[in-house]
Chain A
Amino acid sequence: MRAVITVVGKDTVGILAKVSTFCAEHDVNVVDVSQTILQDMFCMIMLVDTADMKLEFTDFSDQLKSYGEERNLKIHVMHEDIFNSMHRI
């Protein structure tokens, strides 16, 4: 399946590198990345493919979330279909 990782927080050096390293360590392939600054907040959106992932999806999502919490970042990992359903007819 494909999932969307969103990272929102105060801009610091190396956020993109850290999250993509975390993905690589678990055989999660990054398909696309986009980032922007919204009102001083760093905002990154990453589309990933979890087909070869070594972890259970929920473990991956939990670990990434707590990784974010330790660094004051809000990280969500959600199945891409929730966005497709809501915003595409």
Chain B
Amino acid sequence: MAMMNISDILETIAMIEEEHLDIRTITMGISLLDCCDSDIKKSCDKVYDKITRKAEKLVATGEQIEKEYGIPIINKRISVTPIAMVSACSGGNPVEYAKALERAAQTVGVNFIGGYSALVHKGFAAGDEALIRSIPEALAVTEHICSSVNIGSTKAGINMDAVALMGQTVVEAAKATADKGCIGPAKLVVFCNAPEDNPFMAGAFHGAGEPDCVINVGVSGPGVVSTALKKIPDGNLTDVADVVKKTAFKITRVGQLVAREASDRLGVPFGIVDLSLAPTPAVGDSVAHILEEMGLEQCGCHGTTAALALLNDAVKKGGIMASSHVGGLSGAFIPVTEDAGMIDAARSGALNLERLEAMTAVCSVGLDMINIPGDTPAEVIAAIIADEAAIGMVNSKTTAVRVIPAIGKKVGDELDFGGLLGGGPVMDVNMISPAKFISRGGRIPAPLQSLKN
């Protein structure tokens, strides 16, 4: 047939229908720098007006593309300039901005707005500390707002005062939402080397170097990769890497197509495609299962870090040629509660926090969506953040922590969030105290970038 190969067409349809290929998100980045006003009420009104104006057609356009191309687009989201920058100008209670963002999210019908954020890797500027201290309340009084704080970078080192503060903030965010299943910290990410164009939540924000408005797209498709690997049960690891690359290429091409269409139809420049493998709790959409398909008895056993390193690198190599601009986080995600295979491995004890930390050295993001005991001290959480940031800082990569203290629960209890956030067991945490180390404060100096051993 002149037009197309039948098996190619059926392959695409099977990827979508049976293997959960989807566009995880179209995220519109909107700069709020021109909304700053010395009067906080005016400033909030300008924020609301600009978001609802720019994103008026975002959801409808996403749905239209979804229908025409037959590819599910799971989320339509917005990322904005870190609110600490806007509130630095107006002063006042930053929670007012969270409320304005919430109203805007409801008006335009998006799933989330990210950017209740502060960038403090070298220190606190005006507005930063007030914003961080307001995060627990902001996440408790809103539904659609996501928050992130960047506390370290390869060039700046790690701001340990901010790390200590974030340890407390995570605990308080959990307490403030204890009646809502501790959902607060599930919407809060602590970053090292945060990307400015990430379309994925909860860490999306619109960086200061970004244009006024931009479209970023995040793809997904762990199910497609594991199905492809099932076809070579006895292939060696070179074959495995090749299959992952080819699959990542195909997935990313769809992301590029959707990004270009959304950008054209909305009249907003295309930013990047984020070529991450983002799992969901649905059966057959798990990153852990890809690792198990490679030959691990269960995710978390010895060999997991090596398998993940192969996967993460092959995803990038395959995806990079499929898109004109790649950015964001771009790698395999390992959120525990959002991944059926990770949940099973955490429940059986195959997967622990230390193994997860090692895995974050070779893949995207970091310790993500991990339920920890509700009585975990703030300084232990701060130390978890510091460890993770150190991995990111030294390896020049993004790392992050999104842990959820399950208030009133202990190791082995379950905490569920529902939807894409999933749910899972409360995992064991090493409680030997790092309190003195954390209380020292100050900054960990930026690391040497040569003599790499």
Map CB proximity to A onto B1-27 as digits: 1 under 8 Å, 0 otherwise: 111111011111100000000000000
Q: CA of A50 to CA of B124 in the docked complex: distance in angstroms?
A: 57
Is B257 an interface position by the 8 A CB rule? yes
Is A73 an interface position by the 8 A CB rule? no
Map CB proximity to A onto B58-75 as digits: 1 under 8 Å, 0 otherwise: 000000100111110000
Contact of A32 among B2, B11, B13, B250 (CB under 8 A): B2
Is A81 an interface position by the 8 A CB rule? yes
Q: CA of A85 to CA of B11 in the docked complex: distance in angstroms?
A: 13
Q: Which residues on A sit within 8 Å (CB–CB) of B147? A: none
Map CB proximity to B onto A1-28 as digits: 1 under 8 Å, 0 otherwise: 1001010100000000000000000000
Map CB proximity to B onto A51-89 as digits: 1 under 8 Å, 0 otherwise: 000000110010000000000000011111111111100
Q: CA of A76 to CA of B9 in the docked complex: distance in angstroms?
A: 11
- The answer to whether B3 touches A82 (Cβ under 8 A) is no
Q: Which residues on A sit within 8 Å (CB–CB) of B5? A: 87
Contact of B12 among A1, A31, A47, A82 (CB under 8 A): A82
Is B316 an interface position by the 8 A CB rule? no
The answer to whether residues A76 and B257 also contact, given A34-B6, A87-B4 and a CB cut-off of 8 A, is no
- The answer to whether B6 touches A43 (Cβ under 8 A) is yes
- The answer to whether B69 touches A86 (Cβ under 8 A) is no
Chain A: minimal CB distance from B320 (Å): 13
- The A interface is mostly helix, strand or loop, or mixed, namely strand
Q: How many residues of B contact A (CB 8 A)?
A: 23
Chain A: minimal CB distance from B356 (Å): 33
Residue on A nearest B251 in the bound complex, by CB: A86
- The answer to whether A82 touches B71 (Cβ under 8 A) is yes
Chain B: minimal CB distance from A26 (Å): 16
- The answer to whether B12 touches A86 (Cβ under 8 A) is yes
Q: CA of A58 to CA of B66 in the docked complex: distance in angstroms?
A: 10
- The answer to whether A86 touches B1 (Cβ under 8 A) is no
The answer to whether residues A76 and B13 also contact, given A58-B64, A61-B67 and a CB cut-off of 8 A, is yes
- The answer to whether A6 touches B13 (Cβ under 8 A) is yes
Q: CA of A8 to CA of B11 in the docked complex: distance in angstroms?
A: 13
Q: CA of A38 to CA of B11 in the docked complex: distance in angstroms?
A: 13
For chain B, residues 3 to 56, give those with C-beta under 8 angstroms from any C-beta of chain A.
Answer: 3-6, 8-13
Chain A: minimal CB distance from B255 (Å): 9
Is B289 an interface position by the 8 A CB rule? no
Q: CA of A24 to CA of B71 in the docked complex: distance in angstroms?
A: 26
Q: Which residues on A sit within 8 Å (CB–CB) of B2? A: 32
Q: Which residues on A sit within 8 Å (CB–CB) of B257? A: 81-82, 85
Most buried by B among A43, A58, A83: A83
Q: CA of A31 to CA of B254 in the docked complex: distance in angstroms?
A: 24
- The answer to whether A85 touches B256 (Cβ under 8 A) is yes
- The answer to whether B9 touches A6 (Cβ under 8 A) is yes
Q: Which residues on A sit within 8 Å (CB–CB) of B9? A: 4, 6, 45, 83
Chain A: minimal CB distance from B317 (Å): 15
Residue on B nearest A2 in the bound complex, by CB: B3
Chain A: minimal CB distance from B148 (Å): 32
Q: Which residues on B sit within 8 Å (CB–CB) of A77? A: 70
Q: CA of A77 to CA of B70 in the docked complex: distance in angstroms?
A: 7
- The answer to whether A76 touches B256 (Cβ under 8 A) is no
Chain A: minimal CB distance from B70 (Å): 4
Q: Which residues on B sit within 8 Å (CB–CB) of A79? A: 68-70
Residue on B nearest A58 in the bound complex, by CB: B67
Q: CA of A89 to CA of B69 in the docked complex: distance in angstroms?
A: 18
Chain B: minimal CB distance from A76 (Å): 6
Q: Which residues on B sit within 8 Å (CB–CB) of A32? A: 1-3
Chain B: minimal CB distance from A75 (Å): 11
- The answer to whether A78 touches B4 (Cβ under 8 A) is no
The answer to whether residues A87 and B250 also contact, given A45-B6, A47-B3 and a CB cut-off of 8 A, is yes
- The answer to whether A43 touches B254 (Cβ under 8 A) is no
Q: 5 tightest A-B contacts by CB? A: A78-B70, A34-B1, A87-B8, A85-B257, A85-B253
Using CB atoms and an 8 Å cutoff, list the residues of chain B in contact with chain A: 1-6, 8-13, 64, 67-71, 250, 253-254, 256-257
A-B contact pairs, 26 of them (CB 8 A): A1-B68, A4-B3, A6-B10, A8-B10, A31-B3, A38-B10, A58-B68, A61-B67, A61-B68, A61-B70, A76-B13, A77-B70, A78-B70, A79-B68, A80-B3, A81-B69, A82-B12, A82-B254, A83-B12, A85-B253, A85-B256, A86-B8, A86-B12, A86-B253, A87-B4, A87-B11
